[in-house]
Amino acid sequence: MEFSQRHTLVGTAISIVAMLTYLTILVARAVTDGLPLAEVAWQGPMLWCVGLGGALYAVAFAVMRAQHRGQRVSDERTERIDVQAEFAASGITGLAVLAAIVMLALDVDAFWVANTLLIVSWLGSLAGAAVAIDAYRGGLDK
């Protein structure tokens, strides 16, 4: 498996695990403390999950890059896949920003605004990853 395909798969796995961990912590806190979901302290878990997920990805990237030392890791094809994946993600992330602005205009609680931004942007990156993974499996010019 080539480098860019591997780091996409590993990055996607890490991002799904980090997000599920974050959501589990939120729900667990709400249930064990008997609080409504929106009153749970979400700031700490979000920072930890995003920070640890990012750090784990950076380490995994560095290790995989070292294994491919001395090889060309990007070419015209991986560039094109990259652009298509980011394009798919950019559309959904744009929607996340617009949704957050509308929620702020309607004075929605910060909990919901922040989590909408995080989760919809995450879904965007997931859509991008799906496009990339599909393209690596030979579907670029379908």
Q: Which residues bind other proteins (CB under 8 A)?
A: 43, 46-47, 82-87, 89-91, 93-94, 96-97, 100-101, 104-105, 107, 110, 113-114, 117-118, 121
Minimum Å distance from CB 70 to other proteins?
A: 28
* Tokens (6 digits) for 41: 């302290």
Minimum Å distance from CB 108 to other proteins?
A: 9
Minimum Å distance from CB 84 to other proteins?
A: 6
Minimum Å distance from CB 25 to other proteins?
A: 15
Give 2's contacts (C-beta < 8 A, 6+ positions apart). 73, 78, 136
CA angle 130-88-131, nearest 5°? 25
| Contact between residue 36 and residue 9 where contact means Cβ atoms under 8 Å apart | no
* Tokens (6 digits) for 57: 């990805």
Residue in the structure block whose two tokens are 């989590």: 115
| Contact between residue 46 and residue 22 where contact means Cβ atoms under 8 Å apart | yes
Exposure string over 49-77, b if 16+ CB within 10 A, otherwise e: bbeebeebbeebbeebeeeeeeeeeeeee
**C-beta closer to other proteins: residue 69 or 142:** 142
**C-beta closer to other proteins: residue 63 or 110:** 110
**C-beta closer to other proteins: residue 63 or 83:** 83
Minimum Å distance from CB 69 to other proteins?
A: 26
**C-beta closer to other proteins: residue 20 or 112:** 112
